[in-house]
Structures are given as C-alpha cells and as structure tokens.
Amino acid sequence: MVIEAVKLSVSYDNTQVIKEVSFTLAEGVVAVVGPNGAGKTTLLKAISGLVSYAGSLKIMNKDLRDFSAEERARLITYVPPLVDVMPDMSVGDLILSDPLVSKELLEEYIELFELSSLLKRRLSKVSSGELSRALLAKGLSKNSKIVALDEPLSHIDLRFQLILLKHLRVLSKGGKLILVASNQLNPLLSYVDRVVALKKGEVVFTGDVASFLRSSTPERIYGVKFEVVFKDGYVDIIPRELA
C-alpha cells in the first residue's frame, strides 16, 4: 500500500475537521470528493505533511513522521488550487522557484499546459486558469511518487481538464498515486480508479467508481439526486434535483 491511514485526525483550534479516518490507497488516480468544508483540502495537506495530525499515517510502509523534510518533499507534492503572490512574480519565476523540479519535465509540462507564451507574464496579469496550469506544471515537474492535486479542475477549461485527466492516467500507470480533490464529478469520475468520499470530516466511502455511483453515497453527501449514465467506459453524472 502506498498510503495507510489509521484513525487519522486533524484539528484546527481544537475543532476536529478530520475525524479518526482509516483507509488504504494503492497506486492509481483517486478522486477525493465531498461537499464544501468536508475536509478534502485538510486530508490532502495531512498526507503531504503540511498540517499536524493525530493517529497514524504510513507512506510506503514507513511512518510519515519518520521521513526527513527533504525525503518528504521529494516523495509527496501538494498542489494548491490558487495562490496569492506578491506582484512582479512572473509565471516563469513561479515554475522555476522549486529547486527540486527537473528541467526536462518542466519543459514537457510547459508544452502540455501551453505555457510557453506566458512565461514572462506577471502573475497579477494572468487568469486564474493560467495560474492554475502554472501551478500544475510546477507541482508535477517534481515527479513525486504521490501527488495531491487540490481542486485542479476548478479554474481550467474543458480542454485542459481532459489534457490533465488523461495525463494523470498515464502517470498512474507509471506507478504514482495521484489524489484529486474536486467536486467536478464530470469529467473527473470517468478518469479515476477509486473514490474516497468525505462528509463532515469522515470517510463515508472508499471503493471503485461504479460502486460509488450505484451506492446512495453521492446523494447522501451532496443532498442532490443524480442520474448516472454509464457509456463506453465513461460515466455521465447529471444532477437532477435537490434531495
């Protein structure tokens, strides 16, 4: 198992926002879904070593706390949805600011996310989708075994959503575990191997996409009735009405 969490809890100011969750995850693309405030970001940050937690979290059979900061930095990458930066930082400055990235991979991701013409542009003058693509290029170029993408689909357009999701599948075949926290079930769930569903800090479901969609979990966590269409290996999730 790549990740093994046992009674994992995270608290902010004495309020538990991840509540003794236990799960295991192997290589593959994993959708982390759940309503706003369910704890998706917090879970991703705990796995990435960015917030302190109680309970046990094992990465490749080793306690996360036993990794050195440097080892952890190489092994796991967290990519935030957007960032506030100081003015005058350019897209190029941003993606070159991590000494752990590989230049060759960075060039590949500049191609993939079509950033070539944006490198000199100041971050205060790019759109949120462009910033999001730059953050993805920076994060993915680190080539970490575990990649935690926080809301990567929220700002990029449909074309880049497909480019990203198809690419994540390729990466996972190469042995990575990629966590994608998102509520864009369409098109996300057509491209993932597993689903972890969160509600109010608890993991209410882990399993494959079909079992997730056939269960009552989506309706329960979102409070919405869905119609689900399975076609040619893709799924279409249509929100119909409030439950």
Partner 1 sequence: MCPLMSSLEIFVLWRKRRFLTTLTLSALILAILFFTHLSLGYSVMNPLNVLLSGITQLITGSLGIEGYRVLRALTAVVVGATLALSGYLMQLSTKNPLADPYILGVSSGALFAVSLTLSISGYVLHPLMIGVRTITAFLGGLIAYLATLFIASKAGMSPTSLVLAGVAVGTFFYSASLLPQYFISRDIHKLIAWSMGSFVSPSADALILMISALLLTMSYAFYVRHPLNNLQVSDDFVKQLGWDPARLRRYSTLLASLITSFTVAWFGVIGFVGLAAPHISRRVLKSSELVFVLPTSIILGSALLTASDLLSKVLVAGVEIPVNVIASMIGAPVLALAIVELRRYGY
Residues that bind ligand ADP (CB under 6 A): 12-13, 17, 34, 36-42
Give me the least distance between CB of 123 and partner 1, in Å please. Answer: 9
Please report which residue ranges of the chain form alpha helices under DSSP H. 40-47, 69-75, 91-95, 103-112, 128-140, 158-173, 185-188, 209-214, 217-222
- Which residue do the tokens 């929100």 mark? 239
The Cα-based distances of 191 to 45, 71, 165, 177, 206 in angstroms read 23, 29, 6, 14, 16
Give me the least distance between CB of 180 and Mg ion, in Å please. Answer: 12
Give me the least distance between CB of 38 and Mg ion, in Å please. Answer: 8
Under the binding rule (CB under 8 A), the answer on residue 240 touching partner 1 is no
CB-nearer residue toward ligand ADP: 44 or 106: 44
Give me the least distance between CB of 217 and ligand ADP, in Å please. Answer: 15
Distance CA 19, CA 1 (A): 22
Give me the least distance between CB of 234 and ligand ADP, in Å please. Answer: 26
Q: Which 36-65 residues touch partner 1, going by CB under 8 A?
A: 45, 48-50
190 interacts with, out of Mg ion, partner 1, ligand ADP, none, CB within 5 to 8 A per kind: none
CB-nearer residue toward partner 1: 61 or 68: 68
CA neighbor of 89 nearest in space, from 78, 100, 97, 101:
97
Give me the least distance between CB of 22 and ligand ADP, in Å please. Answer: 18
Around Cβ 40, how many Cβ atoms within 10 Å? 26
- Which secondary structure element, helix H or strand E, spans residue 66, and what is its range? none
Distance CA 5, CA 58 (A): 6
CB-nearer residue toward ligand ADP: 33 or 101: 33
Under the binding rule (CB under 8 A), the answer on residue 128 touching partner 1 is no
Two structure tokens written together for 122: 């100041």
Determine which residue in the list 13, 15, 36, 86 makes contact with partner 1, applying CB under 8 A.
86
Distance CA 220, CA 237 (A): 15
CB-nearer residue toward ligand ADP: 56 or 154: 154
Q: Which 29-48 residues touch Mg ion, going by CB under 5 A?
A: 40-41
Residue pair 148/72 in contact by the 8 Å Cβ criterion: no
Angle, vertex CA 165, rays to CA 222 and CA 161, nearest 5: 75
Contact residues: partner 1, CB under 8 A:
45, 48-50, 68-70, 72-73, 77-78, 80, 83-90, 92-94, 96-100, 103, 106-107, 110, 115-117, 119-120, 122, 124
Contact residues: Mg ion, CB under 5 A:
40-41
